[in-house]
Chains A and B, each alone.
Chain A
Amino acid sequence: MENQNHEKEISFTFNGKRIKGIEGQPIAAALMANGIRAIRTCTVTGEPRGIYCGIGHCYECRATVNQKRNIRTCLKCLEENMDIKSE
């Protein structure tokens, strides 16, 4: 489905839950549009982590995308049926 800005709405999953986003936008933006700000869990403190720098430098927003670990969600563009999981 295309909206008035010629953006195509597609669906993907985050931690098993099916949600919608705009094709080609960074994954992090699609998650935020769905009200999801906590993307992964810090392995040291157990605290949640989310977007910080937005340009791929801080690595805070990484997630597993289609079984591939450590993908920076601020840089990776959203595709139909992407399977995104917290790390």
Chain B
Amino acid sequence: MKVDVAIVGAGPAGLIASIELAKNGMKVVVIDEYYRSGGRLLGQLYEDTKSEKKRMWDGKEIANHLMDEALSLGVQILCKTTVWKIESNCLFISNSEIKEIHSKAIILATGAIEKALPIPGWQKVGVIAVGAAQTFTNLHRVKIGNRVLFVGIDPLSISVAMEMKKAGIHVVGMMLPAPSLMTGEKSNPQDVLEQLLMVAHMAPNYFFRIAGKLVKGKIKKLIVNLLKFNLIQIMGIPLYFRKAVTQINGQREVESVSVSNLSTNGELSRIETKLEVDTVCLSGGLLPLVDLTQVANCILVDIPELGGIVPLHNKYLKTSVEGIYVAGNITGIEGAKVAMAQGKLAAFSLLYDFKIVSEQQLQMAFNEVDIARKSSPISFLPNIKIGRKIMEEKWKAYSIPIGEK
């Protein structure tokens, strides 16, 4: 199969990129592992506090709309297909008819995966990753359990817990994972609450909006004071910042969790109580899914502010390998609106290199990413802008030849 551009990932970034490229006359194919396109949009269903016109962010509806538009522009979408190798503009795929795709350029928009949150008993039936819980609830509309506990308190898990509650599932509360080598700051009540409040402008709840403003005013003491409240609730869901799950119990399936109190500094009490639940949602945070950039020999850099190891790229989303661009969560963990704007930017960056759009048009697409960031209802990482700056500096250091330094 021969195309102008191959895009990996049919989520918000990949679909928008395909639409912009097709509008400019490019022959485009989008490849995705899942059985339908939309990516993480599919599970999203929440109130958009930043939008004036439309109050609900219905990801599935947006995904359907983008898919229809892409298809009407002649974009080919290959679902249920895995890209397993990329070598000099050739993609090797798991498709019984098409084995290889030859393209002039590639956009990798593979998104993110969830970080594991291993606590004893996490292998049991009834323990489910928060992203899967979201998809089963909002997309498949299946009840994942009768008494659901969330472990890991962060913007994603809070929004999923709220969605689940709205769907009529009994969410018994949210707690932290017990401290271990794997959990780090996710088990420290102060760190967790501080991280949350730094992104609290997204505020699903009035309490967080006010608290978020205070923290921006650098009143750190407030956090410790907030932790003295034993019952912080969002939409009737109790957030237990001072309780940690030490173990998940059950014979064949989840029956209960063992819970201990945490001090404000994250020290675990020796006294354990049992809480009866049948389902545990684990939320360990998101990690950019960079495997394909690695296979394609792109240079990777570790920038924790962006969510971990990400492909080195310039501000127009070009990687260190000629002809390979990136967009969406593969560049750092942000919301769907930013991913969509990045999809357009990657497309324009590519079109600029192919001399199809002007520098001015490219600059406009670049500016739209910042606008999208400002209008995002949910932020995931508190220092994302610093992370983007670090990436720009790393690109400068890479792109200026040694002799000129």
Residues of A within 8 A of B (CB): 24-26, 29, 32-33, 37-38, 42, 47-58, 60, 74-77
Contact = CB atoms under 8 A, between A and B. Distances in A.
B33 A56 contact: yes
A75 B80 contact: yes
A51 B125 CA distance: 7
Interface of B: 33-35, 80, 113-114, 123-129, 131-133, 135-136, 140, 142-144, 252-253
Given A38-B253, A57-B113, A75-B80, A50 B126 contact: yes
B140 A29 contact: yes
B175 to A, nearest CB: 19
A61 to B, nearest CB: 9
Contacts of B252: 38, 47-48
- Please give me the 6 A-B residue pairs with the lowest Cβ-Cβ distance, nearest first: A54-B132, A29-B140, A50-B125, A38-B125, A32-B142, A33-B142
Contact of A52 (B34, B35, B80, B127): B127
19 contacts: A29-B140, A32-B136, A32-B143, A38-B125, A42-B123, A47-B123, A47-B124, A48-B252, A50-B126, A52-B127, A52-B128, A52-B129, A53-B114, A53-B131, A54-B131, A55-B131, A55-B132, A58-B129, A77-B35
Contacts of A54: 128-129, 131-133, 135-136
A53 B129 CA distance: 5
A74 B132 contact: yes
B95 to A, nearest CB: 14
Nearest to A72: B33
* Chain A contact residues: helix, strand, loop or mixed: loop
A10 B145 CA distance: 23
Contacts of B144: 32
Contacts of B126: 37, 50
Contact of B140 (A26, A50, A58): A26
Nearest to A34: B142
Nearest to B278: A37
A5 to B, nearest CB: 9
A24 B139 CA distance: 13
Contacts of B135: 54
Given A37-B125, A75-B34, A52 B253 contact: no
A4 B400 CA distance: 60
Contact of A75 (B35, B127, B142): B35
Nearest to A32: B142
Given A29-B140, A48-B125, A56-B34, 9 more contacts: A26-B140, A32-B144, A48-B253, A49-B125, A54-B128, A55-B131, A58-B129, A75-B33, A75-B80
B131 A25 contact: no
Nearest to B40: A55
A37 B35 CA distance: 21
A77 B80 CA distance: 10
A26 B33 CA distance: 13
